[in-house]
Amino acid sequence: MKQAIRAAVVLVGLFNLVLGLAFLIRPAEMAAKFFLAAQGVQGLATIRADFTALFVGAALFVLYGAWKQRAAPLFLPIIMFAIGLFGRCATIIADGIVATTYTPMIVEAVMITVLIAGARAFSKRRWS
């Protein structure tokens, strides 16, 4: 079971790594897929830098945690994705629901769930 959870954690890491590298290489195309629009070169630079940092940074902690089978590195991406999910919930309250509301929320919730399962599986102390 621990190896299945580890594999799922690795998939979360690889998913985020691919997203981050895609933002680095094709920022305008990826921005459009995320319903963003860059304003000029500086807008592209911001998308390229910030989204690459978010996804690649999270991926590195996830993959390190999976590689070393350690819980601690997974807590940073758990917090990052939970903040993102909170922001989406705030958007529902502030702006309402549209057809595209739930898909990214489900993806974030699944990643959080997988990473919590990984943290539990890799933890050396018992969780209550």
pLDDT tens for the 128 residues of the chain, in order? 999 999 999 999 999 999 999 999 999 999 999 999 989 999 999 999 999 999 999 999 999 999 999 999 999 999 999 999 999 999 999 999 999 999 999 999 999 999 999 999 999 776 55
User: In this predicted structure, what is the pLDDT of residue 82?
Assistant: 98
User: In this predicted structure, what is the pLDDT of residue 56?
Assistant: 98
Instruction: Take residue 51 and report the two structure tokens written for it.
Output: 């989204």
In this structure, how many other beta carbons lie within 10 angstroms of the beta carbon of residue 4?
Answer: 10
User: In this predicted structure, what is the pLDDT of residue 8?
Assistant: 98
Instruction: Take residue 82 and report the two structure tokens written for it.
Output: 């939970």
CA atoms of 45 and 64, how far apart (whole Å) = 27
- The dihedral built from the CA positions of residue 121, 53, 38 and 18, taken in this order, carries a sign that is negative
CA atoms of 105 and 75, how far apart (whole Å) = 19
In this structure, how many other beta carbons lie within 10 angstroms of the beta carbon of residue 114?
Answer: 21
**CA neighbor of 54 nearest in space, from 29, 32, 22:** 22
